[in-house]
Amino acid sequence: MWAALAARDAAADGRFVFAVRTTGVYCRPSCPSRAAKRENVRFYAGPPEAEAAGFRACRRCRPDAAGPEARRRAMVARACRRIETAETEPALAALATEAGLSPFHFHRVFRAVTGVTPRAYARARRAERVAATLQEAGTVTAALYEAGYNAPSRFYAEAPARLGMSPTAYRRGGAGARIRFGVGACTLGAILVAASERGVCAILLGDDPDALVRDLQDRFAAAELVGGDATFEAWMARVIGLVEAPGRSLDLPLDIGGTAFQQRVWEALRRIPVGATASYAEIARVIGMPAAVRAVAMACGANALAVAIPCHRVVRSDGALSGYRWGVERKRALLAREAGECGEA
């Protein structure tokens, strides 16, 4: 952020604001005002945080006024709400008309902001509704129609990518699913790696190996849990290698699962560069839902793929480390390792 401020980088506008302690004013990163001393500068996720700290908006750069990027994200957020509340998937042309854009331009903007296409977002949202209702609905088919699927065949074609198993197996707590797993040790303590037929579905860290196994059993209560074979042991070694050097690529298939919202958050986390961090508020803005800071934090906490989905790179707006489900010390260690790898590069 300091580098962006020193360069008056307009591309950083909307990502954060900076405040000057000696003037009591906060500005956009691109503000042409006189440069302030580093020790007098404070960074905030946005105008609300800066104003809550007692600073007022600069009259020159008007950081409290919505710029093009803010308007674009607000437009996409409205489209997301439209998709989420519609009984059937809205047509691309209809969404574009409501946004005042051509279908091509709207499709490009939506994907740039959320990381997925409007159709992919709609499908993920429907799958999320099914996942939420499978436990209560009398039948799988009833849950599908309640979630907005016109034909069950469409959901069954998409289900493995969203649930990691068949709808019936998901409804029964993973019944029929076969999950290989292994428990080992790394420099951060105990590690459990598990994989479904689709890919790695859990990377858990902790101090007690037995507690990690219980966690896996709770996640897949009715699944068949089996020890890993030689191929799985090779996968496990690669995962441990990722923990030891979190800047490298895992290059293994992942069975991510999760709700539509969680997938959007996790995809945003995977785009955070190695050695960098982002705040919960920044992630909320990236996915087009700036008010969903707490929900973003909960999605980070629900991540079961430690390091592979780098929730350790998310920090508080003031830069402090908190909220890591596997312990703040492990979070600090992972960030230090990434910083070291970037320094060596």
Task: Compute the radius of gyration of the chain from its Cα atoms.
Answer: 22
DSSP classification of residue 28? -
Q: Is 27 part of any known ligand binding site?
A: yes
Which residues fall within 8 angstroms of residue 76, CB to CB, at 6 or more apart? 109, 110, 113, 114, 288
- The band of 307, judged by pLDDT with boundaries at 50, 70 and 90, is very high
CA gap 326, 186 in Å, rounded: 14
Query: Distances from the Cα of 86 to the Cαs of 102, 146, 155, 246, 288, in angstroms?
Result: 21, 12, 17, 40, 18
Q: pLDDT tens, 61-87?
A: 888 876 666 677 778 888 888 887 776
CATH of range 260-339; options 1.20.810.10, 3.40.50.720, 2.40.50.90, 1.10.10.10: 1.10.10.10
- CATH code for the domain defined by 1-57: 3.40.10.10
Angle at which helix 118-133 crosses helix 152-163, to 10 degrees, equals 90
Of 147 and 325, the structure prediction assigns the larger pLDDT to 325
* pLDDT above 70 as % of the chain: 81
Q: pLDDT tens, 1-52?
A: 888 888 888 777 877 899 999 999 999 998 988 889 999 999 998 888 888 8
H runs (alpha helix) in 206-248: 209-219, 230-244
For the segment 83-111, the average pLDDT, to the nearest whole number, is 86
Question: Which pLDDT does position 45 carry in this prediction?
Answer: 83
Answer positive or negative: Cα dihedral of 309, 311, 312, 318: positive
For the segment 309-321, the average pLDDT, to the nearest whole number, is 88
Which residue in 260, 270, 274, 278 sits closest to 337, CA to CA?
A: 274
Of 124 and 223, the structure prediction assigns the larger pLDDT to 223
Ramachandran category for residue 78: left, alpha or beta (phi over 0 → left; psi -120 to 50 → alpha):
alpha
Q: Catalytic amino acids?
A: 27, 311
- CATH code for the domain defined by 178-244: 3.30.160.70
Domain boundaries, the chain: 1-57, 178-244, 260-339
Both tokens assigned to 192: 């459990």
- The band of 190, judged by pLDDT with boundaries at 50, 70 and 90, is very high
> Is the pLDDT assigned to residue 110 strictly greater than 80?
yes
Q: Is 58 part of any known ligand binding site?
A: yes
Question: Which pLDDT does position 127 carry in this prediction?
Answer: 60
Q: Is 31 part of any known ligand binding site?
A: yes
DSSP classification of residue 12? G
pTM as predicted:
0.54
Question: Which pLDDT does position 184 carry in this prediction?
Answer: 92
Both tokens assigned to 41: 């500068």
Q: Is 80 part of any known ligand binding site?
A: no
Of 29 and 344, the structure prediction assigns the larger pLDDT to 29
Q: pLDDT tens, 126-157?
A: 665 555 444 444 444 444 444 444 444 444 44
